Structures are given as structure tokens and as C-alpha cells.
């Protein structure tokens, strides 16, 4: 379902109706959210990505289903990246209902084998889940 991202305010603060400057334009229509879901150890399933053409002929990679997160940690003053399996989702500041639906978004906290990880990438637009290990 499309979302309209243009000006939708039709009244001023005083309550007076605003004049319509122009009609709705196609360029103001956005796409629906990717809703990247977690695959929790289901056999035979793999991560799923989808390419989408954007304005100007560019491409975005949407991540539909995810099993792993790339975690960056600091050990001995060196940054080390590890690929860890996601075991569950702890919290999502954007929407509390995303926790029970297992949807991963930026800023969300996921559980891994090493501990809790905060997601720093945008899975629906970058096509990958990156995160930083939270100190406990």
C-alpha cells in the first residue's frame, strides 16, 4: 500500500481552511515498509533480499528475512567484525508491536550468542543488518 509523503495539512492553526496550491503528485508517493523479519533457526530457509528500482534508475536492496547480524566489537584497541546468528528480538524503540512480530528496524535490540546487539543499519534500505555489541 502506498503512502503519501506530501503536505497533508488542510487547516491553519486558527482553524481556517488552507487554499490548495497544487494537486497530489506521483513523486510524493512512497512505498510500504519492508518489515524485515527474523528467521529463528527454521530448517531449509535462507535470507531473502529483493532489488527495487528507485528514482533516477538507482537500486535499493530490501532485506525481507534475516538470520545473521554483522557485529562490530573493540578488542585490544582493534575493531573486529563477527557474523552472529540472531536468536530473538529484545526491544524496538520505533514500535513496541514489532517485538512480537519479530520485525528488525534501526535502533532495535536483538539477542545473539554473544549478548545484546543494537542495530545500526537500515535493513529495509541497505539490505544488511549491522550492529554494535551493547556492554552489559
Total domains in the fold of the chain: 1
pLDDT, tens digit, 9 for 90 and up, residues 120-135: 999 999 999 999 999 7
In this predicted structure, the answer to whether residue 47 has a pLDDT above a threshold of 70 is yes
Does residue 27 belong to any structural domain of this protein? no
**pLDDT at 8 > cutoff 70:** no
- 107 within a domain of the structure (yes/no): yes
What's the sign of the alpha-carbon dihedral 45, 47, 52, 58? negative
Opening angle at CA 129, ends 125 and 132, nearest 5: 125
What pLDDT, on the 0 to 100 scale, is given for residue 132? 95
Query: Which residues on adjacent β-strands are paired with residue 117?
Result: 110, 133
Residue 44 forms part of a structural domain: yes
Domain for residue 124, yes or no? yes
* Tens digit of each residue's pLDDT (9 = 90 or more) over 69-115: 999 988 889 998 999 999 999 999 988 999 999 999 999 999 999 99
**Does the pLDDT at position 42 exceed 70?**
no
Residue 115 and residue 106 in contact, taking contact as beta carbons nearer than 8 Å: no
Task: Decide if 42 is inside a domain.
Answer: yes
Domain of 63 in residue numbering reads as: 34-133
CATH of the domain at 106: 3.10.290.70
Structure-block grid coordinates of residue 94: 520505533
Residue 17 falls inside a structural domain: no
Kindly state whether residue 112 falls inside one of the protein's structural domains: yes
Task: Judge whether 1 lies within some domain.
Answer: no
Amino acid at each position: 500500500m502506498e503512502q503519501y509523503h506530501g503536505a497533508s495539512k488542510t487547516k491553519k492553526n486558527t482553524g481556517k481552511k488552507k487554499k490548495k496550491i497544487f494537486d497530489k503528485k506521483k513523486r510524493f508517493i512512497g512505498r510500504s515498509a519492508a518489515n524485515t523479519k527474523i528467521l529463528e533457526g527454521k530448517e531449509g530457509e535462507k535470507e531473502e533480499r529483493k532489488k527495487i528500482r528507485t528514482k533516477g534508475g538507482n537500486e535499493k536492496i530490501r532485506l525481507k528475512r534475516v538470520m545473521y547480524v554483522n557485529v562490530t566489537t573493540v578488542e585490544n584497541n582493534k575493531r573486529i567484525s563477527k557474523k552472529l546468528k540472531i536468536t530473538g528480538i529484545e526491544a524496538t524503540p520505533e514500535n513496541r508491536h514489532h517485538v512480537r512480530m519479530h520485525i528488525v528496524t534501526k535502533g532495535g535490540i536483538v539477542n545473539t550468542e554473544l549478548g545484546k546487539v543494537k542495530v545500526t543499519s537500515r535493513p529495509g534500505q541497505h539490505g544488511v543488518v549491522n550492529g554494535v555489541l551493547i556492554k552489559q
